[in-house]
Structure 1
Amino acid sequence: MQFNFAKYQAAGNDFIIIDNFQDHYYTYNPLLTKQLCHRQFGIGADGIISIEKKAGYDFALLHYNADGSQGDGLCGNGSRSALHYAQVLGIIDQKAYFTAIDGAHIGYIRNELVDLTLQDVTLVQPLGSGYFLNNGTRHYVEMVDVIERMDMEAVGFPKRNMYPFEKEGVNINFVQLLEPDAIRIRTCECGLDSEPLSCGTGAVASALVASAYYGLNSPVKVTTKGGKLQVTFRHLPDGRFIDIHLVGPVYQSFCGTVNPANLPPIIGCNPL
């Protein structure tokens, strides 16, 4: 069955957004997900976000990774993109109460910016040479002096299954401090075979670590390879972070219709 989609990008983090709100056009299938996200044999994206109907909420969001796996944590930039598409579809106006895999969220659309609230973070803990926290998604944050020198293939991706995350994996963020109250980040995400241009929950995790251990104040400006984001929060005396927001623009690149039956198999290039 063919279905409509919209292609979005948020700070270079790109997604296929599917409207499953009225009719269930897209049902999760690992191979189909991988085909749709493939940049040569499909539409191309870092992941798929499906907008679903959910009692008690404006909508629910389901997230699938580009490698065909189901997302096991919140997708920040994908959620912000879906908020914008939900407004385009007429599901919401300028505010939404929705649910994702980690629970309930509120989103706002203000002019050109999409603002996503995240769950409170009660613990930011040292781990190895960096820090770990869960803000709806597991993140490990490590500070570096010159972020451009990081070899993500050799250093970043192998760390995704570092101890004690050998089984479930963890998203890896490398962070360079800037002045004032600003950081530059790069991320290796679980579920992706290459480095994304940005990661929304990674931006938040990195900003909170920079605040907890390096004294940065809200709002923290975050520069990624694909664009700029802003993270706002309240840092309480007991160490907790509340009222956390990820803010930035999103863009609908194009929209279209795809028939999964017409997608070619994902194969390697034959030698000449």
Structure 2
Amino acid sequence: MRVDFVKMHGLGNDFVVLDARAQALPPLGEGMASALADRRSGIGCDQLILLEPSGAADFRMRIFNADGSEVGACGNASRAVALLHGKPARVETGGGIIAVEPRGDGASVDMGEPRFDWQDIPLAYGMDTALMPVSWEGLDQPGAVNVGNPHVVFFVADCDAVPLDRIGPEIETDPLFPERVNVNVASVTDRGHIRLRVWERGAGLTRACGTGACATAVHAMRRGLVERDVAVALPGGTLTIAWGEDNRIRMTGPATEAYRGSFEWGDFA
């Protein structure tokens, strides 16, 4: 069975998009997702995106990390899918229904409402998620927020100086986070700007993470460090994050289609 794909990226965070809305595909498991994501023997990507019909929204978006694990949300992929779809849409995800709207060379995405209760992150036991009494090798008192997937956020003087490639996987797999966690280290430049690096669960260091930008901005706003509309600069580029009075997060930024191709399903099944 020959299957078409679209290779896309948002600020360097790249995706292979499979569209099963018009033509059904065989079941996609973790093994096949990770095989397609492999950069040496597959197509190569940070996340594999599967579009399917939905009874609750215009269509459904499923998200598989490079290790094959399925997750509930991906902000950069949401912008890419909006660009691919070409018109405003409501999209069902594992983290809830979001609204996307293509804009020029990118998109604006209503990411929904953040969740702060420790059970919603989730954490292994109860604590204040605004100022958590935990630390890892000098990274201490983080905040936690769920924006469709779980994030822990550390504010530091210089996010570039943190050895995130080493400490990121340690925090991601800490027993405190039973579903693992995305790790964000951020530096507040001023009340309108944040610098951010992200270790993404199941994918590793990434050039950009849309949900990470949302989680970090909201946590900074919650702590009173920035205004309610900020620019978040990641290694791959900048996203604009606004947290409205209606408690909903809106993310705006670019997305790019890189190329299209096809593959034999049986080669990766």
TM-score range, shorter chain: 0.7 to 0.9
Counterparts of 1:200-211 in structure 2, within 5 Å, are: 200-211=210-221
Percent identity, please. 26
Q: In structure 2, what is the Cα distance between the partners aligned to 1:122 and 1:180?
A: 23
* Amino acid paired to 1:120: E
**Structure 1 residues 122 and 44: alpha-carbon distance in aligned structure 2, compared to 1, 3 A threshold:** closer
- Cα distance, 1:242 vs. partner? 1.1
Residue 234 of structure 2 is aligned with which of 224, 236, 247? 224
Q: In structure 2, what is the Cα distance between the partners aligned to 1:202 and 1:122?
A: 14
Where 2:114 maps in the other structure, the secondary structure is: coil
- Cα distance, 1:199 vs. partner? 0.7
Contact 1:32/1:260 (CA < 8 Å) preserved in 2? no
Query: Unaligned 5+ residue runs, structure 1?
Result: 88-92, 236-240, 266-272
Q: In structure 2, what is the Cα distance between the partners aligned to 1:215 and 1:26?
A: 48
Q: Deviations over 1:74-108 (max 9, x none)?
A: 11111221121122xxxxx2x10121112211111
Where 1:242 maps in the other structure, the secondary structure is: coil
- Cα distance, 1:140 vs. partner? 0.3
Structure 1 equivalent of residue 100 of structure 2:
107
**TM-score normalized with structure 1 length:** 0.87
Counterparts of 1:15-164 in structure 2, within 5 Å, are: 15-25=15-25, 27-71=27-71, 73-87=72-86, 93=87, 95-123=88-116, 125-127=130-132, 128=134, 129-164=141-176
Contact 1:74/1:137 (CA < 8 Å) preserved in 2? yes
Structure 2 equivalent of residue 238 of structure 1:
none
Contact 1:17/1:85 (CA < 8 Å) preserved in 2? no
* Amino acid paired to 2:235: K
Q: Deviations over 1:173-201 (max 9, x none)?
A: 00011124111111111111x31111110
**TM-score normalized with structure 2 length:** 0.88
* Amino acid paired to 1:44: G
Contact 1:47/1:63 (CA < 8 Å) preserved in 2? yes
- Cα distance, 1:23 vs. partner? 1.2
Q: In structure 1, what is the Cα distance between the partners aligned to 2:102 and 2:153?
A: 29
Q: Deviations over 1:218-237 (max 9, x none)?
A: 321011111111101125xx
Q: In structure 2, what is the Cα distance between the partners aligned to 1:149 and 1:202?
A: 18
When structure 1 is superposed on structure 2, of 153-162 and 246-255 the one drifting more is 153-162
Q: In structure 2, what is the Cα distance between the partners aligned to 1:110 and 1:160?
A: 34
Between Structure 1 and Structure 2, how many residues are aligned? 250
* Amino acid paired to 1:81: A
Structure 2 equivalent of residue 199 of structure 1:
209
Structure 2 equivalent of residue 173 of structure 1:
184
Q: In structure 1, what is the Cα distance between the partners aligned to 2:27 and 2:157?
A: 44
Contact 2:142/2:152 (CA < 8 Å) preserved in 1? yes
When structure 1 is superposed on structure 2, of 9-18 and 29-38 the one drifting more is 29-38
Q: In structure 2, what is the Cα distance between the partners aligned to 1:217 and 1:63?
A: 31
Contact 2:83/2:106 (CA < 8 Å) preserved in 1? no
Residue 213 of structure 1 is aligned with which of 220, 223, 226? 223
* Amino acid paired to 1:152: L
Q: In structure 2, what is the Cα distance between the partners aligned to 1:251 and 1:161?
A: 32
Q: In structure 2, what is the Cα distance between the partners aligned to 1:187 and 1:179?
A: 20
> Does 1:255 pair with 2:260?
yes
Structure 2 equivalent of residue 269 of structure 1:
none
**Structure 1 residues 84 and 148: alpha-carbon distance in aligned structure 2, compared to 1, 3 A threshold:** same
Deviating above 6 A after TM superposition, structure 1's stretches of 4 or more consecutive aligned residues are none
Q: In structure 1, what is the Cα distance between the partners aligned to 2:2 and 2:197?
A: 36
Please tell me the root mean square deviation across aligned C-alpha atoms, in Å.
1.7
